[in-house]
Structures are given as C-alpha cells and as structure tokens.
C-alpha cells in the first residue's frame, strides 16, 4: 500500500504560489501585456499553467514511484525565478536510502516519462494554434529544433519556406520548455534522472560515465553557450558528479527495467537539441 502525506508543508505552498505568479508574469510579458494590469497578466495563463502542469507531472512521477518503493521523499518544490520563463523548474528531496537498482531506476525514469506523456498531446494542441510569419530583422530569439519538434513542424507546416518562421502558441512554447527540461534531466550525469538510470545499470562505473558526459558539455558550447550555463548549474546544485551508493546493488535488472531505460534513451534522443536558443 502506498502511503501519501496528508499535509502540505507551508514552504511548498509558498514556493508554488510564487512560481504561479512568476510564470504568469513571464507568459504575459511574452504576449506584450502590461505587468501592472491584473487583467493583462491573465494573458500568461496558457503558458504558466501548461508549464506548471508538465513540471508537476514530472515531479509527481518521481514522488509516486518513491512512495511505491517505500522511500521517504518530499513533495515537489517549485522554484520561481526572474528568468524569461519565470522558473528554474521543480525538484523533490529524497530523504532516505534507496535499496535496490529497480527502485532507483523507477524513481529516475518515472519523472521524464510522465512529463513526456502529458507534453505530447499538449504540444499537438499548441501547434494547431501556432501561426506562420515572415522572417524579419526584428526576430531576436530562435528556438532549437529537436527531432520531435521537426516531426511536428513537418506534420503541421509542410513545405515551410526558408523565408517564413513559426510563432509558437504559448502552450506550444511551454511544451518546448518542458521537452528541453526533460532532455536536460536525462543527461547521464551526477544525480540527474539520467544519472540515476546509469547508476542502476553500471553501478560504480557511473562516475566515469558521468564525468565523460559532463566534459562533453564543454565542446557543445560551440553550438550554444547555454551548455556552459548548465555546467555551472550542475556544479552549484550537485557539487559532485558522483552518485550515492544504494543498499543492495547485487540484484540484476529484469527485462521490464531494461525496457524502461531504453524508453528513456529514446525520449532523450528525440528531445535532444544541440543549440536550444539562438539570438
């Protein structure tokens, strides 16, 4: 039986409310609305609620499978931020040891899979509301295209000429951010979701793999300096590329767990963006 907490800590509530406000303002700003008008700030609802829903599903995927495996875990902390999307994402805190590779893999994989599942139908809807405009010199921000985004562009806007570009609906843009966050979390580094999955498979060899992929982020900065920013964030938040040991690392993963890991690898590949933002 899975036991859930019937109390929501006040810090989680305050952070969530602040993140609603910050993402609403970010979404309204994208729409050219006045941030001093409550009515116009509500124009940020499609972006804000879509992004928070995706982040929430991601974190509650972790939360549910942590509880399923009898791991003591916090409710999600949403992090407001003065960025153009209004948030640094969300996270949960694991407060007790993880006992098996199966539990570690399930906890690591459940978040990206849950987030991806809810993002795809929202992305379809967002693309159906997006529009095409002529490219001009005033275009300042160009979003990188993953394989998944290229597929949707092909399906919704076939034969798009080079002289035109797609203006994503706020819901589609929130989905793009959600897919980017999913991809970044699946990097096999440290205690990111991908790091959990790699540790479940390779145990003590995790550190070598983690270090290799972290170093590989540096040449990726040739395509986008955003990768250097992500390096700094990893160093600040994790402080180490190592992964804490699990109690029982002798159990062999079954076919089901291997299939889950393969699904995460597939999600990572189709969501990967070499240059997330181009100015």
The 3-state DSSP class for residue 242 equals coil
Can you tell me the distance from the alpha carbon of 142 to that of 144, in angstroms, rounded to the nearest whole number? 7
Summary mean pLDDT of the chain: 89
Closest C-alpha among 83, 175, 163 to residue 125: 175
DSSP structure string for 17-59:
HHHHHHHHHHHHHHTT--TT-HHHHGGGHHHHHHHHHHHHHHH
Can you tell me the distance from the alpha carbon of 215 to that of 206, in angstroms, rounded to the nearest whole number? 14
Question: What are 64-120's pLDDT values in tens digits?
Answer: 999 999 999 999 999 999 888 999 899 999 888 888 899 999 999 999 999 999 999
Can you tell me the distance from the alpha carbon of 232 to that of 239, in angstroms, rounded to the nearest whole number? 10
| Domain residue limits, the chain | 10-278
Task: Specify the residue for token string 């079954």.
Answer: 254
Question: What are 151-204's pLDDT values in tens digits?
Answer: 999 999 988 887 788 889 999 999 999 999 999 999 999 999 999 999 998 888
Q: How many CB atoms lie within 10 A of CB 156?
A: 16
Can you tell me the distance from the alpha carbon of 203 to that of 246, in angstroms, rounded to the nearest whole number? 9
pTM over 0.75: yes
Q: What is the pLDDT of residue 64?
A: 95
The 3-state DSSP class for residue 168 equals coil
> Which of 52-56, 154-158, 253-257: highest mean pLDDT?
52-56
Question: What are 121-153's pLDDT values in tens digits?
Answer: 999 999 999 988 877 756 567 888 999 999 999
How is residue 86 written in tokens?
Answer: 């209004």
Residues in the chain: 279
Alpha helix segments (H runs only) across the chain: 10-30, 38-41, 45-68, 101-128, 147-156, 170-185, 193-202, 206-220, 226-238, 255-271
Contact 129, 260 (CB under 8 A): no
Confidence grade of residue 3 (pLDDT, cut at 50, 70, 90): low
Closest C-alpha among 121, 115, 147 to residue 272: 147
Query: Residue 222: left if φ>0, alpha if ψ -120 to 50, beta else—which one?
Result: alpha
Tell me 245's DSSP state: P
Q: How many CB atoms lie within 10 A of CB 89?
A: 20
């Amino acid at each position: 039986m899975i036991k859930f907490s019937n109390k929501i800590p006040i810090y989680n509530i305050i952070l969530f409310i602040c993140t609603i406000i910050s993402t609403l303002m970010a979404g309204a700003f994208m729409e050219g609305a006045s941030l001093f008008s409550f009515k116009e700030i509500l124009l940020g609802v499609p972006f804000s609620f879509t992004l928070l829903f995706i982040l929430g599903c991601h974190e509650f995927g972790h939360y549910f499978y942590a509880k399923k495996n009898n791991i003591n875990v916090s409710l999600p902390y949403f992090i407001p931020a003065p960025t153009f999307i209004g948030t640094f994402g969300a996270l949960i805190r694991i407060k007790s040891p993880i006992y098996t590779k199966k539990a570690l893999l399930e906890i690591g994989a459940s978040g990206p899979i849950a987030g991806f599942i809810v993002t795809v139908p929202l992305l379809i809807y967002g693309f159906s509301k997006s529009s095409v405009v002529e490219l001009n010199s005033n275009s300042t921000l160009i979003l990188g295209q993953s394989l998944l985004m290229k597929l949707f562009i092909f399906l919704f806007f076939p034969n798009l000429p080079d002289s035109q570009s797609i203006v994503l609906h706020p819901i589609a843009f929130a989905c793009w951010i959600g897919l980017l966050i999913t991809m970044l979390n699946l990097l096999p580094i440290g205690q990111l979701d991908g790091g959990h999955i790699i540790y479940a498979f390779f145990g003590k060899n995790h550190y070598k793999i983690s270090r290799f992929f972290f170093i590989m982020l540096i040449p990726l900065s040739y395509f986008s300096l955003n990768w250097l920013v992500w390096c700094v964030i990893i160093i600040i938040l994790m402080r180490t590329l190592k992964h804490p040991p699990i109690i029982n690392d002798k159990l062999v993963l079954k076919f089901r767990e291997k299939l889950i890991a393969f699904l995460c690898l597939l999600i990572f590949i189709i969501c990967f963006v070499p240059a997330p933002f181009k100015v």
